[in-house]
Chain A
Amino acid sequence: MIGFRRHRRAPVRLSDRSFGLLCLTTAFVLAVHAAHLPLWLTAALTAALALRWWQRQHRPGRIPGWLKVPALLLLVAAIILDYGNVFGRDPGSALACGLLVLKLTESEGPRDARVAAAFACFLLMAALLFGQGLIATLVVALGLLPALTTWRSLEPTQIPVNLPRQLLPALVLLVTSLPLTLTAFVLVPRLNSPLWGTSTQQAAKTGLSDQMSPSDFTELLTDDSAAMRVSFDGTPPPKNQRYFRAYLMWDYNGKDWTRRNDSPSVPAAIEAGSTIDYHISLEPTHQHVLPTLDMPLHAPAQSQMHADGEVFADKSVDEVLDYTLRSALRYRYQATLEPATRMLALQLPSDFDPRTHALAAQLRQRYGSDNGAIIRAVLQMFHDGGFSYTLLPAPLGHDAVDDFLFNTREGFCEHYASSFTVLMRAAGIPARVVTGYQGGFWNNVGQYLLVRNSDAHAWSEVWLDGRGWVRVDPTAEVRPQRINLGADAAGSNPLLPWYESGLWESMRNHWDIVNRWWNEGVIGFDALRQRGLLTPFGIRELDTGTLEKLLAISMAVFGVAGLSWALWRRPEGDPALAAMRALERKLAHAGIARGRSEGPQNYLRRAIRALPAQRAELDQLMRCYIDLRYATVVPSPESLRTFRRAVRNFQPRRVV
């Protein structure tokens, strides 16, 4: 309305301090993006930033246009050369970083600085699209400080401060905004499905695949994002039985295990022992497979169960999919094996792994036809043979299983499942590899099991005469923690050097708890968790409308709190008079009330007569008050303080 009167102002030159802060903000942006930008771009942009800073210090002035336009063209061309296009997450953020630095070269006025700092805020947020770990988020939040301070420094205040002191108010601002931030964060309704395609990046994300090759798994095991959430009717199964099967791998080519499209098994009845009902909420996988706890007894709606208990949805899972299932935890399946299936379950590529074959033959010779004894012997070998669990194993050669069993002896579930299965097949025991998830994190508040991609696991199933397919998890022999505590616990080496033991280990564990808390509380706080927010208060499902109402109510509460802070004023009035009133109240309590037209001196004299025991005290108070009121125009704060303290300490003692 009336406020929009514009004033012509002379173009103001950006102060050196503001420009320095802007450079600092940009440096922060480059730092948080450095992890995914190509090295040459980071180096070039940093150099450009440093050059611009130096130039403005020593030769003030704008960068001429004939230099800016080619620089822009060069930037776009280089990004197209490197990424192929300029759209999408990675090239887009690279381009934006470049544009920010280019914007800095022409920033000479406050307006430029404002825009550049706002753009930097946006880029800081964009950095979180590449990884939202605790550290990354903290660093990004720290990057907001110079950005906010840049804005602050553009305001015409005359009070000079040094840089750290200047950054402090922004920190205070961010810290004060935390309660509002957290409330908004918890209550902003999450989208059930994305508004626009995020599939390009989601598809690139690792997930279980119908092929088991080492590289896929390492990526998967370090991916902390949620894979699915499982809630059980009744008590959840014990930790060592939380095996979620996804794919069965039959074919081995010496390097990779692959699934067969035409399942070799003939469907057979499952003789189920104990069963369990549960509900799975599966994160988008862009695949058809539906992981199930152990052996499912039926297929959920719009999906098919293949023989051997693999379940496939009719269409790929592109959104969160909920399904309910009943599974058998103890069962007997295919007590007799078809000859064709048996053939497949024993098939091995020739010309691979001669030493493994030799070992298998040796075992068979020693234990005769006792398959159980052979399995026990191999597991014993894993347990005692110097094998270790690591997510960064040494690379394996042509004879992968030989290399693993006899040379490197380090690896993770995939190596153990693969080599165990090969060894079994070589020894003549039908075996196959199963991939899926194992373990998970039990969420006590939400009463559900969170299974992450890092909980991906591979194990074996062997066929024993009369017992059918039996699950054997060789990894459990090497790292029992993997089964009982989860993938995170298994990552550390049991034979720790001294500096990794004790304190260091405990710090790492604590840090892990912090990280887990972050993952659970912040990153994993999705639509499902949000809906269960008020479960402790008896509301099972929060719908979007209720959430919006809650959000509005809490925003109103914060608004009222903020406004009362903004409107609050120091109570004005005479502090000496207020203290005197307090003294009067105390005396009135003792029966000496001040008369309507009684002066302070008269009144206190009367009080002294009434309380002779406190004569000195009251006399002192009286003198003090008279001095405060009448001796000077503006009483000194010290005498005021003395008087107030004396009033506070004064307690009338009635003499009867």
Chain B
Amino acid sequence: MRDQLQRIQQWAERRLPALTRHRRLEELPIELHRRRVYILPTGFGVAFTLLLLVMLIGSLNYSNNAALLLTCMLGSATAISMLVAFRTLNGLRVRGLRAGHATAGQPIDVTFDFEATRLRQAVRLDIADGTRAFDVQGRTDVTVSIPTERRGWLSMPRFCIWTTWPLGLFRAWSWMHPHYAVLVWPRPELSGPAPTLPVEDHRRQRLHRGEDLAALRDYRSGDSMRHVAWKASARHESLLVKDYEQPEARQEWRLDWRQLRGMDNEARIARLARWLGEAQSQGRQWSLWLPNEVIELGDGPAHYARCMSALALLP
């Protein structure tokens, strides 16, 4: 049944482009208005209408005017609920979208920035087989997760904003397809070799370690006696130990695409992504050398994001 409906829907979208103009990409912000809000009774609404008809015929048949009045009242309330459903969506704006970061295969968080002058209750957002319900008053952020598969640009899927407010008798909906894409980072490989470092780098590392006596910390039991900074401790109340595990002491990595010869592109990207992750978690500085771009030495989340984005955009 569900598949059939979807097939019919796909057919309609193919054959009746006039009805499906909402499939075009649109620029943000998007404001819902009467030309793009559709409304139909829900299944329950249809059933209730039939019940109202039965009540109408019954009360007319028994010429029971009080029952007729009640039926008319319920019918009018139903009609008004249709207008209320429409009003819930009419004038609702999506001001913008903000995407978080995610690697391929992980869901990515996309935040919708909704705006409405009036309170809109029980608005629902269908995106990527999930439904979120929320109220909009003033400006409201709604975050949804969208599954990702591949690195690179992921266009926002078409999504549906709908509501059955207030009584669940009518469903008002509108499709949106904003011109917006989120960048999905490559997925790092799970394990592999560390980046090969040039030999002189090893020497420099040792030298570096020997020189760096600036960082001292309190003695902890188990510290080697050879690492105790005796001179410094003499001027201090407690023992001080030379600390060699300072991040600054870490040697920078030069991550080069060309080092990874003999692998296919995706594997190279996955490895570089893993190295980037390791460098970031170890607090190293690194530079990234790609075929078309060189990202100079740097560190921190912004640098990491820049490098990952560059990797994601590799052909």
Q: Chain A interface (Cβ within 8 Å of chain B)?
A: 1-9, 111, 114-115, 118, 121-122, 124-126, 128-129, 132-133, 136-137, 140-141, 144, 148, 151-152, 154-159, 169, 173-174, 176-178, 180-182, 184-185, 188, 190-191, 194-196, 198, 201, 522-526, 562-563, 565-567, 569-570
Contact = CB atoms under 8 A, between A and B. Distances in A.
A172 B6 CA distance: 39
Interface of B: 2, 5-6, 9, 12-13, 19-20, 34, 38, 40, 44, 47-48, 51, 54-77, 79-81, 83-84, 86-87, 90-91, 117, 119, 121-122, 124, 126, 129, 131, 133-135, 160, 162-169, 171, 173, 175
A141 B162 CA distance: 30
Q: Which of A4, A158, A159, A198 has the most CB of B within 10 A?
A: A4
Contact of A4 (B5, B13, B121): B5
Given A125-B59, A155-B166, A525-B65, A184 B76 contact: yes
B15 to A, nearest CB: 12
B77 A173 contact: yes
Nearest to B70: A125
A148 B169 CA distance: 11
9 contacts: A2-B38, A3-B173, A4-B9, A122-B55, A137-B70, A157-B165, A177-B76, A195-B57, A565-B83
A158 B135 contact: yes
Nearest to B167: A151
A159 B121 contact: yes
Contact of A1 (B19, B162, B168): B19
Contacts of B38: 1-3
A7 B55 CA distance: 32
Nearest to B62: A198
Contact of B66 (A155, A157, A522): A522
A4 to B, nearest CB: 5
B76 A180 contact: yes
A523 B66 CA distance: 6
A453 to B, nearest CB: 15
Given A173-B80, A185-B68, A190-B60, 10 more contacts: A124-B70, A125-B55, A132-B67, A137-B66, A144-B74, A177-B77, A180-B79, A196-B61, A522-B69, A569-B91
Top 9 nearest A-B pairs (CB, nearest first) are: A132-B66, A177-B76, A156-B133, A180-B76, A155-B122, A157-B121, A128-B67, A184-B72, A566-B83
B69 A185 contact: yes
Contacts of A169: 166
A1 B12 contact: yes
Contacts of B12: 1-2
A525 B90 CA distance: 40
B70 A7 contact: no
A158 B134 contact: yes
B64 A132 contact: yes
Contacts of A122: 51, 54-55
A2 B13 contact: yes
Nearest to A111: B44
Contacts of B5: 4-6
Contact of A136 (B54, B57, B66, B167): B66
A190 B59 CA distance: 10
Contact of B77 (A6, A174, A188, A195): A174
A274 to B, nearest CB: 37
A200 to B, nearest CB: 11
A190 B168 contact: no
B273 to A, nearest CB: 34
A2 B175 contact: yes
Contacts, number: 182
A141 B76 contact: no
Contacts of A194: 61-63
Contacts of B47: 118
Contacts of A111: 44
Nearest to B86: A566
Contacts of A118: 44, 47-48, 51
Q: Which of A9, A156, A570 has the most CB of B within 10 A?
A: A156
B68 A188 contact: yes
Q: Which of A140, A155, A196, A569 has the most CB of B within 10 A?
A: A155
Contact of B90 (A1, A2, A177, A566): A566
A154 B168 contact: yes
A204 to B, nearest CB: 13
A1 B9 contact: yes
Contacts of B134: 158
A184 B70 CA distance: 11
Contacts of B2: 6
A177 B129 CA distance: 37
B65 A523 contact: yes
A126 B70 CA distance: 10
Contacts of A152: 166-167
B64 to A, nearest CB: 6
B184 to A, nearest CB: 24
A125 B67 contact: yes
Contact of B135 (A159, A566, A569): A159
A177 B83 contact: no
Contacts of B51: 118, 121-122
A151 B66 CA distance: 24
A2 B80 contact: no
A152 B164 CA distance: 9
A231 to B, nearest CB: 20
A184 B135 CA distance: 34
B69 A181 contact: yes
Given A6-B5, A122-B51, A567 B90 contact: yes
Given A125-B70, A190-B63, A562 B79 contact: yes
Contacts of A570: 117
Q: Which of B6, B44, B173 has the most CB of A within 10 A?
A: B44
A169 B77 CA distance: 11
Contacts of B71: 125
Nearest to B175: A2
A195 B57 CA distance: 9
A203 to B, nearest CB: 14
A111 B164 CA distance: 13
Contact of B122 (A2, A133, A156, A176): A156
Given A522-B66, A566-B87, A148 B167 contact: yes
Nearest to B66: A132
A144 B72 CA distance: 13
Contact of A129 (B64, B84, B91, B121): B64
Given A5-B6, A562-B83, A128 B64 contact: yes
Contacts of A188: 56, 60, 68, 72
Nearest to A526: B63
A196 B56 CA distance: 14
A425 B62 CA distance: 45
Contact of A144 (B62, B65, B73): B73
A417 B5 CA distance: 76
A513 B307 CA distance: 85
Contacts of B63: 190-191, 194, 526
Given A4-B5, A158-B135, A148 B77 contact: yes
A176 B80 CA distance: 8
A1 B169 CA distance: 17
Nearest to B75: A184
